């Protein structure tokens, strides 16, 4: 059963994270999120996750924090984007107009290859950031990222895809998350490119069938 796989794999990964001296805490108290995020050094919240600009409700998004000695030293966020039949390219172009363009077009083009596969209930993961205290360990990053993937699947069991955008030089992060899909230059941004966005970013992700496979075969806890 998928529930058993989730429990077994999460226990193994959390054990590894604890042995490395860290823990994980998930939160959805949106009033306090900005303070908690800025407290460990993240310089800004990107528009899709800015709680002052988005009317999040519980069950729509959460933040996961990497903890060390009772303090937040890193984190990431996840939000549900249920397209309900809206094409992926139209969704990105429409939302980017308000989030980045001030009402003007911020995205010029979205790859048809991305639109062909990204549909249904999408879970967008972003805001990954670590303070100096938590940087430098691939095992810590991998354990935290994969534990968060399990949290995502537990929160939205009927999801179709988990996806993210990563800089070209950080595309190796796709393996840390156990993402199985990677597409270069999926989005062409209008000039000037918004802060934190670039046309050479990779779209990375994993469909639900692949999530269930890596859970069942135990691959998620092997790193």
CATH number of the domain within which 82 lies: 3.40.630.30
Q: Which tens digits make up the pLDDT trace of 27-61? A: 999 999 999 999 999 999 999 999 988 989 999 99
Query: Where in the sequence is the domain holding 38, given as residue range(s)?
Result: 2-221
Cα–Cα distance, 165 to 186 (Å, whole number): 9
With a cut of 90, say whether residue 136 has pLDDT above it: no
Which of 37-41, 61-65, 121-125, 198-202 is least confident?
Answer: 37-41
With a cut of 90, say whether residue 133 has pLDDT above it: no
What is the pLDDT at residue 126?
Answer: 96
Based on the structure, what is the number of domains in the chain? 1
Residue 81 and residue 49 in contact, taking contact as beta carbons nearer than 8 Å:
no
Mean pLDDT score, 121-134: 95
With a cut of 80, say whether residue 3 has pLDDT above it: yes
What is the pLDDT at residue 120?
Answer: 98
Per DSSP, the three-state class of 70 is: coil
Of 213, 129, 212, 143, which is closest to residue 177 (Cα–Cα)?
A: 143
Residue 11 and residue 18 in contact, taking contact as beta carbons nearer than 8 Å:
no
Cα–Cα distance, 88 to 154 (Å, whole number): 24
Residue 206: strand pairing partners: 162
Mean pLDDT score, 68-86: 97
Cα–Cα distance, 14 to 22 (Å, whole number): 9
Q: Which residue has the higher pLDDT, 39 or 161?
A: 161
180-184 CB contacts, 8 Å cutoff, 24+ apart = 180/205, 180/206, 180/207, 180/210, 180/214, 181/117, 181/205, 181/206, 181/207, 181/210, 183/111, 183/113, 183/114
Residue 67: strand pairing partners: 23, 72
With a cut of 90, say whether residue 131 has pLDDT above it: yes
pTM (two decimals):
0.95
What is the pLDDT at residue 101?
Answer: 87
Of 17, 128, 131, 152, which is closest to residue 80 (Cα–Cα)?
A: 152
What is the pLDDT at residue 163?
Answer: 98
Cα–Cα distance, 119 to 115 (Å, whole number): 7
pLDDT band at 105 (very low <50, low <70, confident <90, very high): very high
With a cut of 90, say whether residue 172 has pLDDT above it: no
Cα–Cα distance, 50 to 178 (Å, whole number): 26
Helix (H) or strand (E) holding 205: strand 202-207
User: What are φ and ψ of residue 13, in 5° steps?
Assistant: -70, -40
Length, in residues, of the chain: 223
């Amino acid at each position: 059963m998928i529930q058993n796989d989730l429990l077994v794999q999460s226990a193994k990964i959390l054990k590894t994270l604890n042995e490395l001296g860290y823990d994980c805490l998930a939160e959805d108290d949106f009033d306090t999120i900005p303070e908690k995020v800025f407290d460990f050094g993240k310089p800004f919240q990107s528009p899709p996750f800015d709680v002052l600009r988005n009317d999040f409700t519980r069950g729509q998004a959460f933040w996961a924090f990497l903890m060390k000695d009772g303090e937040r030293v890193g984190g990431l966020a996840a939000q549900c984007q249920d397209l309900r039949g809206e094409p992926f390219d139209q969704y990105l172009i429409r939302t980017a107009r308000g989030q980045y363009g001030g009402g003007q077009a911020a995205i010029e083009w979205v790859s048809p290859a991305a639109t062909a596969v990204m549909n249904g209930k999408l879970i967008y993961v972003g805001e990954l950031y670590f303070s100096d205290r938590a940087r430098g360990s691939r095992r810590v990053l991998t354990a935290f990222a994969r534990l968060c993937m399990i949290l995502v699947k537990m929160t939205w069991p009927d999801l179709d895809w988990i996806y993210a955008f990563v800089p070209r030089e950080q595309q190796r992060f796709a393996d840390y998350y156990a993402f199985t899909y990677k597409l270069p230059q999926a989005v062409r941004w209008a000039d000037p490119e918004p802060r934190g966005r670039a046309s050479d970013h990779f779209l990375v992700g994993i469909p639900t069938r692949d999530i269930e496979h890596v859970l069942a075969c135990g691959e998620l806890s092997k790193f």
